[in-house]
Amino acid sequence: MSQVLNRLPGLLALLLLTVGLFYAGGAFAQEAAATAPAAVAEAAAPVTETVAEAAAVVEEAVAPEEAAPALLPHQAALELDAAGTSWLGTSTALVLLMTLPGLALFYGGMVRRKNVVATITQSVGVFAVVSLVWFIAGYSIAFSANGDEALQPYIGGFDALFLNGISLQTANSLLPGIPEFLFISFQMTFAIITPALITGAFAERFKYSALLLFTALWSLLVYAPICHWVWGGGFLGGAGVLDFAGGAVVHVNSGVAGLVCAIFLGRRKGYGTEVINPHNPVLTMIGASLLLVGWIGFNAGSAGAANDLMGVALLNTILAAAAAALTWKLIEVIEKKKVSLIGMLSGVVAGLVAITPAAGFVDPKGAVIIGLIAGPVCYISSVWIKKLLRYDDSLDAFGIHGAGGLIGALLTGVFASTAINSLGEGANIPTQALGLAWTIAYSAVGTFIILIICKFTTGLRVTDAQEAEGLDTTLHGEALEH
């Protein structure tokens, strides 16, 4: 204790000295802070003037080289809509999900066991081919502008081949708030699923080399022009044809092409004389569920923004699918006294197809009515008409997508409401029928010509022996475990 007391005066003196130093240092810092800016500014003034003069010279020298490139006729300067961009990015992923793995599994479960791998591989091949075709020329043909005003209503231009002229600062003038690279990606997923739908019509008998050539030609010569006619500034869109997300462009187009393919190729061996049953309805269930989820991106994404129109398109999509599933079930019970899983799933897809052209034009009541009508229409087309005319549309590409797209497009002219979308003003059946007539005629003729080209190059149909053994082993060297 005595030692502490002896050191206390020294400790107090040290404390007083420390406080004094802090006080003095603070005062010195305030004085320096007050005087330094003026001194620094005075000293730096000549340097600042020199730097400014140099910067002006450099800017003048490089300005011509750094000037923003001129926009292509179809472009606008990007005015980023962050929310819309986020939603469209999500929708792009959802639509891609529709093909891989959605449609691949949906179709894969409905074929015989010996053709499952081959059927799924067709969807993979379509994805690969169309993605590159869209990059090379498909997008340019569908959505760029043609310098010739006489040709503009019928085909896009070639300025954007290989995506030339597309940058981070550009947008397609149709959606100026969305980066053009994203718009290209979203539309590419539509281009992918459309020929993938056709494969259901010729399942279990088509050569894989023919599939790849057919897909490339069809995407360029059939899909891209029709897409331009309706969505890219072509004559059908200009005439008032309403197609919110692809009733004509995707479903009628692919359905008609599928019907032409089925008739051109002829029926599978044993069709009509042997029982040909789906090998795995559960696989089809998984695929149909993925299609249902992906279709939300398909229809609601076509609003092009995260807005009120997106909300009603989403709800309409779900309601129409549910309504069509029930009416398909009703017809099936009346005829067969049973409800099949694949039948119910086919009804779901029928409702999705039918609401596609109308999703952003009708209110929920209209969506339910469209779904209720689509179920029986697609059932009749897939079962009764196919039996009557004896063509082999293997997985009902025309029965569901062709017929469903037709009824949905026509009913859009009936139920379109300006309370939902002002573009629905003046909607009518004759205008819708005009768009369907052009789509059907062009798709049918174009598909027929492409099939002839494939027939005399790659060939179209596998041999009888390959068909009998199954395409999994004969074309791909793979098979499900026995």
3-state secondary structure of 461: strand
Q: Rounded to an integer, what distance in angstroms lies between the CA atom of residue 374 and that of residue 409? A: 11
Residues 6 or more apart whose CB falls under 8 angstroms from that of 28 comprise none
**Backbone torsions φ then ψ of 418, nearest 5 degrees:** -70, -20
Sign of CA pseudo-dihedral 213, 217, 220, 225:
negative
Q: Rounded to an integer, what distance in angstroms lies between the CA atom of residue 224 and that of residue 218? A: 9
Place of tokens 């052209």: 357
Residues 6 or more apart whose CB falls under 8 angstroms from that of 67 comprise none
3-state secondary structure of 274: strand
Task: Give helix then strand counts, H and E, for the chain.
Answer: 19, 2
The single-letter code of the amino acid at 357 is: P
Q: Rounded to an integer, what distance in angstroms lies between the CA atom of residue 420 and that of residue 455? A: 47
Segments of the chain scoring below 50 in pLDDT: 1-48, 50-52, 54-55, 57-58, 60-66
- In DSSP notation, 409-454 reads HHHHHHH--TTT-GGGTT--HHHHHHHHHHHHHHHHHHHHHHHHHH
Crossing angle of helices 116-133 and 180-198, in 10° steps, is 140
Q: List 75's β-bridge partners, or say none.
A: 172
Please tell me the predicted confidence (pLDDT) of residue 148: 85
Q: Using the 8-state DSSP alphabet, how is residue 271 labeled?
A: B
Q: List 77's β-bridge partners, or say none.
A: 170
Q: Rounded to an integer, what distance in angstroms lies between the CA atom of residue 431 and that of residue 439? A: 13
Are 157 and 140 in contact, with CB atoms under 8 Å apart?
yes
- Express each pLDDT in 174-222 by its tens digit: 999 999 999 999 999 999 999 999 999 999 999 999 999 999 999 999 9
CA atoms within 13 A on the CB side of 60: 6
Residues 6 or more apart whose CB falls under 8 angstroms from that of 369 comprise 323, 411, 415
Compute how many other C-beta atoms are within 10 angstroms of the C-beta atom of residue 55: 10
Residue 232: name the closest of 252, 249, 218 by CA.
249
Residues 6 or more apart whose CB falls under 8 angstroms from that of 248 comprise 226, 230, 236, 241, 357, 405, 409, 435, 436, 439
Are 374 and 351 in contact, with CB atoms under 8 Å apart?
yes
The rounded Cα 327 to chain-centroid distance in angstroms is 28
Q: Rounded to an integer, what distance in angstroms lies between the CA atom of residue 320 and that of residue 331? A: 17
Please tell me the predicted confidence (pLDDT) of residue 243: 98
Are 296 and 317 in contact, with CB atoms under 8 Å apart?
yes
